[in-house]
Amino acid sequence: MKAAIMAKISGMKLSTILRLFFIIIVIIPIMVISAIVLRMYKQDLLQQATERTIQTSQTLAYSTKQEINKMVGIFASVGMDPDVLSTVTLIDKTSLAERQTNINGMYKILSKHKSSVSKNVLSINFFSRMKLRILT
């Protein structure tokens, strides 16, 4: 095998032999090293992106949990307010004509619960609970 390679090389020009050795000694190792570095960079970039995504998801989950806990506290305070309970009972017992006046009174009562929650949302949630209590 060595003799066959030497026979091929001996028949070539010197410039062709130098080009061949340049490709074997310089170009191929640079390509191999570049491929390895590219693969490592790609894996590192993917890992960083995954870590950022996980961190963002955890932050979003924490913020959502805090908002839910805030809403639970708000609804609990509204649900336990004696003024709200008495007004809801009054609304439930009044006729349709008088109900709007009592609902306006409910809005005034709910305005003392300072929050970012709309008074309409609080009313709907509380009325839904009241209807469930009446049905059961």
Q: Tell me, yes or no, whether 3 lies in a domain.
A: no
How many structural domains comprise the chain? 2
> Which residue range forms the structural domain that includes residue 38?
13-65
Closest CA to 109 of 83, 134, 132, 82: 83
- The answer on 61 and 85 residing in a single domain is no
CB within 8 A of 90, min separation 6: which ones? 102
pLDDT in tens, the chain (136 residues): 667 667 677 777 888 888 888 888 888 999 999 999 999 999 999 999 999 999 999 988 888 888 888 778 777 777 777 887 788 788 778 777 777 787 777 777 777 766 555 554 555 455 444 454 444 4
pTM flag (> 0.75): no
